[in-house]
Chains A and B, each alone.
Chain A
Amino acid sequence: MNLQLLFFARLRETLGVSRTSFTLNAPATVADLLGALRDRGGVWATELAAGRNFRIAVNQEMADLNTPLSEGDEVALFPPVTGG
């Protein structure tokens, strides 16, 4: 399935990408997506390592590792928020 990946703030800068398309075998969860991204190695493995503090939103709703993904989903990865 095809996903739209979005990256914000520190993650956007460190990974060097703000928006990209990504293809993943279905069925898949957020955990599967993170595994596939870590397999890219380098900063991807470092920044998305299991102990790192980041958040995931699927279709603009907060998600967790077990959230299932579907064709066309918008998946955003970002650090804990700091607005206000």
Chain B
Amino acid sequence: MTGTHDALAMPAAVVPRRSVPGYLPLVLPPVAYLVIIFVIPLALLAVLSLLRHEAGLIVNQLTLENYAKLLGDTYYVRVIYRTLGTSLAVAFFVTFLSYPVAYFLTRTRTTWKPVLVALVLAPELSGVVLRTYGWLVILEPEGLLNTVLQRLGLLDAPLKLVHNYAAVTIGLTHVLLTFGVFTVMASLQAMDPTLELAAQNLGANRVQTFLRITLPLTLPGILGSFFLAFALAAGAYATPAILGGKTVEVMSTLIYTQLLYILNWPLASAAAVILLVIVLTTLMLLGRFGARRGAVL
């Protein structure tokens, strides 16, 4: 055929080019906003992490000793591990408990649905101090739970459920459920339910259908919920401080104490930088995991 030659011969062929890449108008506003309101302020503070703190004062002398301490001293390394461990546990429990609720809310036809959806907001709306106070009342050695279990003869000695990492995990899981449920719901909503029928038709029972079809297809929601819960748990202060007491230390409580009470700002900002790196690394790993399974995070 002569198509290509004609194309060269025809003078009228003005080929429009794509002008601005489509993503620029989308990327610029939030990025500019965050750079101004977040990145620059944080960078100004993070500079302190490179300065020496001596005798209660900041000395104008560049050093990596704050990082060396946080990443070298076994105590601080343990704090980092604890933070990771608790946050991962919370992220897991949040996602695990959110899923049934989200599934139920997506599929139910009950007229109570609006109420049930609204109620999911409740833990988050009930204010951190009072909510945590509520947990103390329930969990402490002479609290509701232990009392009930002991009355029922299920326990001899009270369970230690406060002022440890378990308490922090319970408290954070509770408050972050809201995030889990709505994030998973966003994913479930987008899934075509006939795919579940197709799987059952091919012999998959309910469990198999769930594991092989529903779960992978809602992976973005699961990963989203996991990530939000992880990041929020890693950054939460009040719940670990109150439910954990001060025999529990995680990055956020460390940062808070150093920043406000001990006044060691260099150490606090170094810890903040490390926390940032941890959370963003998690985001990246989850993204990789999702991408390998066809769900871009």
| A and B from one complex | no
